[in-house]
Amino acid sequence: MEGLKGEGDSFSQQARVELAPMLALRPILFCACLVVACAKAPDAALFYEQAKPLATAPAPTTVAMSVPESWQAIEIDQPFYLAKYDLPNGGRATVSYLGPNTDSIAMNIDRWMGQWTVPGSTPEEARDFSNELIGDQEVYKLLLKGTLNSTAQLGGGDARDHWMLIGGIMLKEFGAVYLKVIGPADDLEGQAATLFTNFAAANFESKN
C-alpha cells in the first residue's frame, strides 16, 4: 500500500489547497442562507405549534366596524360570518369567526392562498405578511395581488385578473377573527391602512 501513496497524496494535497477558500466560505454562506430564510419566515404565532389558550369570553355573534360608504351590507348566509359586504366592481368583504381553536389560523391562510395564482411566482412568495400594533390591538396583515381563481365566493364566473386580497387577523379573548377583502387591485390598493385601522377598532359582541 505504501507504493500507492505518492500520486494520490499529491492530488489530495492539491485538492485541499484549491478547496480551502470554498470551505472557508461555508460558515458565511450558511449564515447568509439563514438570514434570508428568517427574513421570509412568517410570524410563528400563526404557522407553528403554540399554546392553545382556552377562550375566556363568549363567541361573538355581531361586529360593529367602520367601512367605506361604497360598501353595501348584504345578508349573512353562513354561521361563521359576522358581517358581509358587496364592494364596487364586484368585490367582496367579510368579517368572520371560526372558533376558539388557533389551529384554524394557519389552515384559513392556506385556504386563502390556494384561491390565487401569481404570474411568475407563488402566492406564498408574493404575499406581504406582517404584524402591527394598532392602538392596543395587534393586527396580522396579509396583502396579495394576482389572479383570483376561486370565484364561487363571488357567485362564480371567470378568474379575476389584477385583483387584490387584503386580509386581517386578530387574536381576541374568544379566539381569532378575520377580515377578508377582495376586489380589483386598482380599487383596493390605497385602502389597506384604513381598513386595518378600522378592523383593529371593531367592536365584537355576543347576543347569546
pTM above 0.85, yes or no: no
Pair (26, 49) in one structural domain: no
Q: Report how far residue 138's alpha carbon sits from residue 199's, in angstroms, rounded to the nearest whole number.
A: 11
Pair (121, 33) in one structural domain: no
Query: Above 50 in pLDDT, residue 1?
Result: no
Pair (64, 91) in one structural domain: yes
**What CATH number should be reported for the domain holding residue 82?**
3.40.1000.10
Q: Report how far residue 189's alpha carbon sits from residue 163's, in angstroms, rounded to the nearest whole number.
A: 10
Report, as an integer, the average pLDDT of 4-10. Answer: 40
48 or 108, greater pLDDT: 108
For 82, the domain range is: 44-205
Q: How many C-beta atoms lie closer than 10 Å to residue 203's C-beta?
A: 9
Pair (88, 114) in one structural domain: yes
Residues 6+ apart with CB under 8 A from 167: 109, 112, 141, 142, 143, 144, 178, 179, 180, 181
Q: Report how far residue 204's alpha carbon sits from residue 192's, in angstroms, rounded to the nearest whole number.
A: 21
Q: Which three cell numbers stand for residue 207?
A: 347576543
Pair (100, 72) in one structural domain: yes
Pair (8, 75) in one structural domain: no
Of the listed ranges 24-38, 48-62, 155-169, the least confidently predicted one is: 24-38
Pair (107, 173) in one structural domain: yes
Pair (136, 192) in one structural domain: yes
Check: CB of residue 105 under 8 Å from CB of residue 176: yes
pLDDT at 141: 97
Q: Which three cell numbers stand for residue 140?
A: 396580522
Pair (94, 177) in one structural domain: yes
Burial (CB count within 10 angstroms: exposed 0-12, middle 13-18, buried 19+), residue 158: exposed
Q: Work out how many domains the chain is built from and give that number.
A: 2
Pair (96, 64) in one structural domain: yes
Check: CB of residue 167 under 8 Å from CB of residue 141: yes
Pair (77, 17) in one structural domain: no
Radius of gyration, CA atoms only, the chain: 25
